[in-house]
Amino acid sequence: MQMSQSSEILDRAANVLIGNYARLPIVMTRGEGSRVWDAEGNQYLDLFAGFGGCVLGHAHPALIAAATAQAGKLWHVGNTFHTEPQVQLAERLNKTAFTGKAFFCHSGLEANEAAVKLARLRGQSSNPKKWKTISFNKSFHGRSMAMIAATGNPAVKAGFEPAVPGFNQVDLGDLEGLSGALDDEVAAIIVEPIQGEGGIYPVDPHFAVELRRICDAKQITLIYDEVWTGCGRTGKWFGHQYLKDANGNVVLPDILTLGKAVGGGLPVGVMFARPEIAALLVPGKHGCTLGGNPICMNVSKTIFDVIEKEDLVTHAATLGEHGMARLRQDKKIAPKIAGIRGRGLFIGIELKAPPEKLVEKALERGVILNVTSSKVIRLAPPINISLDDWNKGLDLVAESIAAV
Ligand code: PLP
């Protein structure tokens, strides 16, 4: 009997790949725009963009051109030399975020590790015992030993005890709990402007104002983990740009971290710090051999060019509002919905009960979505998805919800 191309690859995978991912039995072979195709030729509308990585969809011509042009010139020289694409990306961040300086690595967790190291350097420059980090329950910051200690989800930590010391979590928005955890040894507070893995919970701007006030008063470094919320996904360049004080001023962090979308599907992480704090990271304190390699940097800076040129930040905001309104009005799914929340094209649909095999049932209908925290459906399509594809995708999402 002749095996299908997929089942042959799945059999080989079972022999040689570690089973740390709950992979679906589908082999993807090709992508274009907001669509991907599997080895059997089935087509899917991609409303999750590879955990947000493919912010401009698949095989974007401008990104192919950027990668190809750079690949033909220079791949890697190491960070003992300068290369222009790093400078261009850092200039882009200065234009779209705030005045700062950049360090480049490969992933969100590495960016967070670098941020916590820098916060400790800053803390210990004034008090040798200023070393602790406070984060929040339901947060996710990555899977290194330190970042699982920072992550506010017991399941992520289980089996890896004892935890790296110096990390404590409190509830998001709980000022009393926070003040109970604050002492002179706290060097950093790390927070996601919208908690992603935890179930799409946006930070209240008033809470952000308080965080900023506390950090200023106690010389604590405020870190925004924008690994999910960066690069236009939320309908602003960065998710923190929704966090405004009573005068309408954006509540800025001391350090911003990026991953996922900033590489467009390539491995890029960024730690971006206010210049006076960044100045503490002198030679010998931190590094990353392939971090900032010219191919990734050229793609990354081109992502910013395309988002600006095509005004995709506004597009994400408009399509997000439209999508949430459409889902809220759908009578056939209303009895199953506990709440719909999000910003731009980062949307959580909380169901009243955990759905049975929803991801699989959606795939059968030709749409890729994700479920987190057992009953929150997450939608995070490429931010350049057309209105037509978004509408088709939303219809399929609603049909899938109705069917479970
Ligand atoms: N921070 C946040 C908010 C994330 O959602 C993630 C991953 O989902 C990370 C950090 C870790 O990023 P990476 O998987 O690139 O290490």
Divide the 404 residues of the chain into consecutive groups of 10 and give the mean pLDDT of each group: 80 98 97 98 98 98 98 98 98 98 98 98 96 98 98 98 98 97 98 97 98 98 98 98 98 98 98 98 98 98 98 98 98 98 98 97 98 97 98 98 95
pLDDT at 1: 43
Separation of alpha carbons 347 and 52, rounded Å: 12
* Ligand 1 atom nearest 110 alpha carbon: 16
Angle subtended by helix axes 84-96 and 294-309, to nearest 10: 30
Q: Rg of the chain over CA atoms, in angstroms? A: 21
Report the alpha-carbon distance of residue 349 to residue 325 in Å, rounded. Answer: 12
pLDDT of residue 3: 62
Give the residue whose CA is nearest to atom 5 of ligand 1: 228
pLDDT of residue 256: 98
Q: What is the CATH number of domain 62-309?
A: 3.40.640.10
In 96-210, the DSSP E strands lie at 101-105, 132-136, 167-170, 186-191, 194-195, 201-202
Q: Which letter does DSSP use for residue 336 in this model?
A: G
Give the start-to-end residue ranges of the domains of the chain.
Answer: 1-40, 62-309, 353-371+386-404
Q: Which strand ranges, in their side-by-side order, compose the sheet holding 35-38?
A: 28-32, 35-38, 43-46, 367-368
Nearest ligand 1 atom, CA 197: 5
Q: CB–CB of 69/309 below 8 Å?
A: no
Give the whole-angstrom CA distance, residue 362 versus residue 332: 16
pLDDT of residue 4: 79
Q: How far is the CA of 113 from the centre of ligand 1 (A)?
A: 11
Ligand 1 centre distance from Cα of residue 403 (Å): 31
pLDDT in tens, 16-66: 999 999 999 999 999 999 999 999 999 999 999 999 999 999 999 999 999
Q: Locate the ligand 1 atom nearest the alpha carbon of residue 192 and give its number.
A: 3
Q: What is the pTM of this model?
A: 0.98
Q: How far is the CA of 346 from the centre of ligand 1 (A)?
A: 15
